[in-house]
Amino acid sequence: MVALLLLFLTIPAVFGKDVKCPEGFQHFKRTPTAKNNHTKNWCLGIFPADRLDERDRARSICANNNATLSLPENQKESDFIAAFSTKHNISETHAADGQTSPRCAARVYKAMKENRVFNSLAIKGECNLKNKYYLFDDSNTDPAFALAKIVDPPPNQFSTFWTMVTPKVYHFAECLTFNAQLIPKNATIPGYAGTSYCVGRPVGKVDQEHEFAEHQPEIKSVICGRHPL
């Protein structure tokens, strides 16, 4: 009887514990599903740094904050990104989770070589945008919300370079980005996803082959996610 009473008294303390995120992160409740690994609570943060259009640098910033690249899963999380962007005057897009799978990238290169259009929304099989065109670092976020915000189906940025003495080299924008900046006149923008080259903007002298990266939009912030404390 005493043991049952003690158990009854301890249950509210366990289930009443507040969910907390570390400094720099905002807590969000989620509807657990198989597509977000049954995640009920998630922490999102946006962190500034230079050259975050380079995917390894973006991953490193998240890793340094004990997090991983992430995405908003719903409008409330997108609104948080928008509010953060406005507060910190960030007009550039954010680096976000999602990179074209190597298998699908190979098919894009083949299409480029054959001068064919590769439309990830129209193609059937694993390289369809809603299937496995992108691979994600974060297994706790359902990417459907962000993928629905893509304006132009990827791949949508390309570059090809060759000379008389070098092989033809193909590049396309493999990495996912997300933008949800608040615009005072129009209240909010629901958010949209885009793409960027994963190689980063060149530092110093730029050779002709990599001019495409020099002119891509600069990315100075990254969306990171992690479990609560």
Higher pLDDT, 187 or 126: 126
Q: Give strand pairing partners of 161.
A: 169
DSSP state of 37: T
Domain ranges of the chain: 41-226
CATH class entry, domain 41-226: alpha beta
pLDDT (tens digit, 9 = 90+) per residue, 115-143? 999 999 999 999 999 999 999 999 999 99
Confidence at 7, pLDDT banded by 50, 70, 90: very low
Q: What is the mean pLDDT of the chain?
A: 89
Neighbours of 149 (CB within 10 A): 17
Neighbours of 177 (CB within 10 A): 24
